[in-house]
Chain A
Amino acid sequence: MLKKIIRTNEFVVFLILVGLSLVVGLINPAFFAISTLFDILRGSIVYFIMAFGLLPIIIAGGVDISFVAIAAFTSYATHMFLLSRGYQGGLFLYFLIAGGLGLLAGLLNAFLVTRFKLPVFDVSLATFTMWYGFTLFFVGATANFDLPKPTVGYYENFLMVAQDPVSGQTGLHVSILYVLVIGLVVWWFLKYTTIGRGVYAIGGNKDVAVRSGFNINRIMMIIFALMGILASVAGVTQAFLNRFFNPVVFIGNPLDVIAAVILGGAAITGGRGTVIGTAMGVVLIQLINRALIITGIPVEWQKLVVGIILVIFTSLPALRERRARRMGRTTELAQ
């Protein structure tokens, strides 16, 4: 059992996480504080949610970038709508409406992909551009800070509190619970439902999945709906955490989320990936960003370091596979 875990990609990521933390902690022991953990988690919350939504799509062999535009559109549109109605209630209605819009947006992608046999990426490129333009033109182009009164305190809604030497008080935000629940739901979906296994099947061999009797269209509808809903949840959560609604929130970041999922052990070609791995991938990226700050590298050079790390990180598995393929070729033939 232990051997099985060690062999997985996820374990490698875990080792990297631990290793990196140790290295950073050695450079600056202040790193090993609870507040650091809370900060990292807080910075990861919305990425967790988006990455969990993206994961099934990637396992199914597709790459989607439209989720950022869906997040922006649904959260911003919902807010402007409720604002115009003078809404002064809590968050729930936000999640409900935005989630509903996100569901529909996800279904649009799924519809185009299945009905017209289009590649996931191409469709997502089109809908990304469409939602981006739609939000900015039809809904509005300026950030809005006018939050309903009951939601204003949300950003400080901590489960636990800790003292951070630099930024003062920080804490474990309550939305981490949502993340846990969402993560559990997605994990359960992928591991314990037939449709979830179907996602892996499609990613492993789509033709065989069709032949086996999986309803591809239904599976695609479900995972895209999930992606849309989670994108909107992320958008709304982000807005309340930062206390303003931004029509271009996340727009620059789809690649970061994709990178997190891939770093977490999913294959870009599909067929593999886990919630735990994805979560670690997100944390890893946040950790790298945090580590850069703590080690005192000037802000303007941080991206360079990230770039170098990414170059190395992507090269290693490729080199490993290269050697394995050379060996595999001869060992497979010599049976």
Chain B
Amino acid sequence: MADEILRVEHIGKRFGGVVALDDVNLSIGQGETCCLVGENGSGKSTLIKIISGIYTPDQGDIYINGHHYHKITPIESIREGIQVIYQDFSLFPNLTVAENIALNQQLSSGKPLVNWKTIHRIAAEGLERINVSLPLDAIVDTLSTADRQLIAIVKALLAEARIIIMDEPTTALTRKEIASLFKLINELKQRGISTLFVSHKLNEVTEIADRTVIFRNGQKVMDQSARGLDIKTMEFYMTGREIQAGSVDFGTVPQVESPLLKVEKINLSHGFFDVSFELRQNEVLGITGLLGSGRAELGLALFGELPVDSGRIWVEGREVQLKKITDAVAAGIGFVPEDRVREGLFLEHSINNNIIVTLVDRLKGRLRIMDRKRQAAESEKWIKRLELKTPSGELPAKSLSGGNQQRVVLAKWLAMNPKILILNGPTVGVDVGSKAEIHELIRTLAKQGLGIVIISDDIPELTQTCHRILLMRSGRLVEEFTRETISEERLSAELVGAVVPAGQ
């Protein structure tokens, strides 16, 4: 058994009346890749924040490198070799690559003056350690997500990290970049650096983990070697119940003369080229492809946010010009965006307000005065229909969990009675339980007459909801799969391309 670097014992933490962590014990050995899995609110983020010194535990002890702490400050945690890479990579967008890499060292050295030669030297050395080259004077703002993540990793390594904690690191990476990342993690492992990998993508967890730790409701419910641990078992422990993935009732798609949505030879420069397809009523159409394949742009184009340069679009047989979002909404198209916090929700406003925001113009009386009663009735209806868990619709939307927030965004569009609903990454950051429920909801909505487009790179999600799946590559539609021709393995292979995943 490798040397133990970090051990936490009997950690407890409450926020107000809510128990975030309950008697948690965890230990991480040297060179170990440990995956931390759990639904939103399971406590995994809280534990990370305690380890990195941002939160103080109410009970329990922390042992790092043999040193005992009851509570730890961020600086102490950093000095002990704990490096956390958050989803925003903790970078300064307005500073250069070199400065971002070397800044922490500058700070911990306590030197009041900055020697730029030293900064550049440190940065160059750091990049060399992981065999990557980036322009040292480039402003970080101008770099891609993958490059920024590399900078974050270099930072962590330079800080003599013994444990690198990565919080959902693969969210914005292409398949190829994910493979590179896993390769890097394994190299770090050889050098004795441990990785604590927080993720909800169970297929990645099986790929990279030595050990899997599962949290539920603030408690650790599983902690064992990742070998032999399959996704179904993980899901069971995460939710406490079995997810029936088995046979799903898909509903039939009636063959009608005119499709709900028809798209012919649409082009968007730097986005997609020569795309044509149809969507029928009662149908769920999936659009997938690597990041950068044009799938996201296609969704935004259909919603009017990125109007197409050329080509034609018909909705219910009538040709439409989707030059801005209001055009799309008028045509009966709704869009559930991927970044629901930034693009879908008004966090400080009440849940009710969020739900009726598209409807206000319809629920009004004379003089544009809002009809509060009808509004309340409408939002109540949707809270019930979508099983939104909240004590009151007047609470701000930010009080909800990820899954419930996604339901609010869905409710917002469903309340508008759209003909077509486009969903971009509908279950990103949503707990497993809600995920299955949202999929069932999608199938139900299709049966009720909607035409739904799902843009996703989550293959199980696509196979469980879609009647047809369109595959995009480099901006073009390259293949179409129907229920008969679909298979998870084939799609995975298509998405991965020729790159072999790390560790195999």
Decide if A and B touch, CB cutoff 8 A.
yes
- Taking the closest CB of chain A, its distance from the CB of B23, in whole angstroms, is 28
| A272-B141 Cα distance, complex, nearest whole Å | 12
- Taking the closest CB of chain B, its distance from the CB of A275, in whole angstroms, is 16
- Taking the closest CB of chain B, its distance from the CB of A140, in whole angstroms, is 42
Please give me the residue from chain B that is nearest to A203 by CB atom: B94
Tell me which of A46-54, A228-236, A325-333 binds B.
Answer: A325-333
* Contact flag A333-B108 (CB < 8 Å), given A201-B95, A205-B93: no
Tell me which of B99-107, B160-168, B189-197, B246-254 binds A.
Answer: B99-107
Q: Do A195 and B112 touch (CB < 8 A)?
A: yes
Q: Do B297 and A205 touch (CB < 8 A)?
A: no
- Tell me if B88 is interfacial: C-beta within 8 Å of chain A: yes
Instruction: Report B-chain residues with C-beta under 8 Å of the C-beta of A148.
Output: none
Q: Do A334 and B107 touch (CB < 8 A)?
A: no
- Tell me if B296 is interfacial: C-beta within 8 Å of chain A: yes
Q: Do A194 and B112 touch (CB < 8 A)?
A: yes
- Taking the closest CB of chain B, its distance from the CB of A2, in whole angstroms, is 13
Q: Do A200 and B92 touch (CB < 8 A)?
A: yes
Q: Name 9 A/B residue pairs within 8 A (Cβ), A-sorted.
A: A201-B92, A201-B103, A205-B92, A211-B54, A212-B104, A214-B107, A330-B268, A330-B269, A335-B146
Apart from the given pairs A208-B90, A208-B91, 20 other A-B contacts in the complex at a CB distance below 8 Å: A192-B114, A193-B113, A194-B106, A194-B111, A194-B112, A196-B114, A197-B103, A200-B92, A205-B88, A211-B74, A212-B103, A213-B78, A213-B108, A271-B92, A271-B93, A330-B268, A330-B271, A334-B475, A335-B146, A335-B174
The 10 A-B pairs at the shortest CB distance, nearest first, are namely A271-B94, A204-B92, A204-B94, A330-B270, A335-B292, A208-B90, A213-B107, A330-B271, A334-B292, A192-B114
Please give me the residue from chain B that is nearest to A271 by CB atom: B94
- Taking the closest CB of chain B, its distance from the CB of A118, in whole angstroms, is 19
* Contact flag A194-B113 (CB < 8 Å), given A333-B296, A335-B174: yes
* Neighbour of A193 across the interface among B90, B114, B174, CB < 8 A: B114
* Neighbour of A334 across the interface among B78, B88, B90, B297, CB < 8 A: B297
- Tell me if A4 is interfacial: C-beta within 8 Å of chain B: yes
Instruction: Report B-chain residues with C-beta under 8 Å of the C-beta of A208.
Output: 88, 90-92
* Contact flag A333-B92 (CB < 8 Å), given A212-B104, A214-B107: no
Q: Do A334 and B271 touch (CB < 8 A)?
A: yes
Please give me the residue from chain A that is nearest to B177 by CB atom: A335
* Neighbour of B114 across the interface among A191, A330, A335, CB < 8 A: A191
A-binding residues in B (CB < 8 A): 54, 74-75, 78, 86, 88, 90-95, 99, 103-104, 106-108, 111-114, 137, 144, 146, 174, 268-271, 291-292, 294, 296-297, 306, 475
* Neighbour of B93 across the interface among A204, A211, A332, CB < 8 A: A204
Instruction: Report B-chain residues with C-beta under 8 Å of the C-beta of A329.
Output: 306
A201, A203, A214 interface centre (most CB from chain B within 10 Å): A201
- Taking the closest CB of chain A, its distance from the CB of B145, in whole angstroms, is 8
Instruction: Report A-chain residues with C-beta under 8 Å of the C-beta of B113.
Output: 192-194
Please give me the residue from chain B that is nearest to A195 by CB atom: B112
Instruction: Report A-chain residues with C-beta under 8 Å of the C-beta of B108.
Output: 213
- Taking the closest CB of chain B, its distance from the CB of A162, in whole angstroms, is 39
Instruction: Report A-chain residues with C-beta under 8 Å of the C-beta of B174.
Output: 335
| CB within 8 Å of B: which A127-184 residues | none
- Taking the closest CB of chain A, its distance from the CB of B405, in whole angstroms, is 21
Q: Do A212 and B107 touch (CB < 8 A)?
A: yes
Q: Do B99 and A330 touch (CB < 8 A)?
A: no
| A4-B135 Cα distance, complex, nearest whole Å | 12
B94, B269, B306 interface centre (most CB from chain A within 10 Å): B94
Instruction: Report A-chain residues with C-beta under 8 Å of the C-beta of B475.
Output: 334
Q: Do A197 and B114 touch (CB < 8 A)?
A: yes
Q: Do B93 and A194 touch (CB < 8 A)?
A: no
- Taking the closest CB of chain B, its distance from the CB of A231, in whole angstroms, is 25
Instruction: Report B-chain residues with C-beta under 8 Å of the C-beta of A196.
Output: 114
| A212-B99 Cα distance, complex, nearest whole Å | 13
Please give me the residue from chain B that is nearest to A7 by CB atom: B139
| A213-B108 Cα distance, complex, nearest whole Å | 8
- Taking the closest CB of chain B, its distance from the CB of A229, in whole angstroms, is 19
- Taking the closest CB of chain B, its distance from the CB of A6, in whole angstroms, is 14
* Contact flag A272-B94 (CB < 8 Å), given A213-B74, A330-B270: yes
| A203-B141 Cα distance, complex, nearest whole Å | 14
Q: Do B75 and A213 touch (CB < 8 A)?
A: yes
Instruction: Report A-chain residues with C-beta under 8 Å of the C-beta of B294.
Output: 334
- Taking the closest CB of chain A, its distance from the CB of B171, in whole angstroms, is 14
Instruction: Report A-chain residues with C-beta under 8 Å of the C-beta of B271.
Output: 330, 333-334
A4, A201, A204, A329 interface centre (most CB from chain B within 10 Å): A204
| A203-B91 Cα distance, complex, nearest whole Å | 12
Please give me the residue from chain A that is nearest to B474 by CB atom: A334
Instruction: Report B-chain residues with C-beta under 8 Å of the C-beta of A327.
Output: 270
Please give me the residue from chain B that is nearest to A208 by CB atom: B90
- Taking the closest CB of chain A, its distance from the CB of B140, in whole angstroms, is 9
| A213-B106 Cα distance, complex, nearest whole Å | 11
Instruction: Report A-chain residues with C-beta under 8 Å of the C-beta of B93.
Output: 204-205, 271
Instruction: Report A-chain residues with C-beta under 8 Å of the C-beta of B269.
Output: 330
- Taking the closest CB of chain B, its distance from the CB of A159, in whole angstroms, is 32
| CB within 8 Å of B: which A30-46 residues | none
- Taking the closest CB of chain B, its distance from the CB of A12, in whole angstroms, is 16
| A332-B270 Cα distance, complex, nearest whole Å | 9
Q: Do B270 and A331 touch (CB < 8 A)?
A: yes
Q: Do A335 and B144 touch (CB < 8 A)?
A: yes
Q: Do A330 and B95 touch (CB < 8 A)?
A: no
Instruction: Report A-chain residues with C-beta under 8 Å of the C-beta of B103.
Output: 197, 201, 212
| A191-B114 Cα distance, complex, nearest whole Å | 8
Please give me the residue from chain B that is nearest to A191 by CB atom: B114
Please give me the residue from chain B that is nearest to A201 by CB atom: B92
Please give me the residue from chain A that is nearest to B114 by CB atom: A192
A197, A209, A212 interface centre (most CB from chain B within 10 Å): A212
| A201-B146 Cα distance, complex, nearest whole Å | 22
| CB within 8 Å of B: which A285-335 residues | 327, 329-335
- Taking the closest CB of chain A, its distance from the CB of B177, in whole angstroms, is 9
| A195-B93 Cα distance, complex, nearest whole Å | 18
